[in-house]
Amino acid sequence: MTAIMGIVNVTPDSFSDGGCYLSADDAIARGRELRAAGAHILDVGGESTRPGAARVEPAEEQARVLPVIAALAADGAVVSIDTMNAATAHAAVELGARIVNDVSGGLNDPDMLGVVAASGADVVLQHWRGHSADMYAHAVYDDLVPELVAELEARLAAAARAGISPDRVILDPGIGFGKRGAQNWQALRGLDRVVAIGPRVLVGTSRKRFLAEALAAASDDEISTARRDAATALTSVLAAQAGAWAVRVHDAAATRDALAVWTHWQGEGEHV
């Protein structure tokens, strides 16, 4: 069964739920809610990576996320820290995080891969071509899928040089990062080639703009959060079909149910 990574944004400016869980208590409650709804992993982040987002100093990032990570890890949850900063990753792992989810694939902070190697944590290496402020300027490809695969393979090799074995690596094609509209669909259609690299693969489509664009093309109705979540659940099933190890979502329950139906469609989990 494909794992569900639930998103806990402890930020004022994330594109979908910025400010909803900015206090530690609210973020902890959100994490517990996601876990109860079927999330296997809780991904806690203190810096928005929405298009155009400003950077956050590591000290502020840590003040936002560390109390949340400590509480959720104490609950027994599998916690991931969503950060590009080695110092934040180190502090989070010390408090119980088991996965470092670096959207920059280790490119933002030269110390990141070394810190992860020493920590024993697993690491998500995402395809990345620059920070949110200018990432779309780099959304230029001659042939997207082969370039995506080659750039992920380069990050996997960098991790190996730092002492991180492939079984500790999770690759992420970076949907919405340095990719415009149709380029995201190209990346998803090539997901089997990302899976073929070898390590586990994480896919994050949740509520992203390219889904809203597809829904807007289908009808003139308002593109509500509920509609984006339904589209996310469908892309989660399609990612599972392509071999994804996990999907990263805001609405764990919708994706849980969609994956359960797909599992039965496949003839697994049936009770006669």
For residue 117, give the 3-state DSSP assignment: helix
Instruction: Let me know if 179 is a catalytic residue.
Output: no
Q: How many CA atoms lie within 13 A of 50 on its CB side?
A: 16
For residue 7, give the 3-state DSSP assignment: strand
58-74 vs 86-94: helix crossing angle, rounded to 10: 20
Question: Could you identify the residue written with the tokens 């997901």?
Answer: 191
Nearby residues of 221 by Cβ (< 8 Å), 6 or more positions away? 227
Active-site residue (options: 30, 208, 228, 256): 208
Active-site residue (options: 30, 200, 248, 256): 248
**Is 23 in contact with 63 (CB distance < 8 Å)?**
no
For 139, other C-beta atoms within 10 Å of its C-beta total 16
| Residue/partner pairs of 114-118 with CB below 8 Å, 24 or more apart | 114/86, 114/162, 114/163, 115/86, 115/89, 115/90, 116/89, 116/159, 116/162, 116/164, 116/168, 117/159, 117/162, 117/163, 117/164, 118/163
**Is 164 in contact with 170 (CB distance < 8 Å)?**
no
Strands of 10-77 (E only): list them: 41-45
Inter-CA distances, 94 with 31, 88, 100, 119, Å: 19, 10, 12, 8
Active site residue ranges: 208, 248
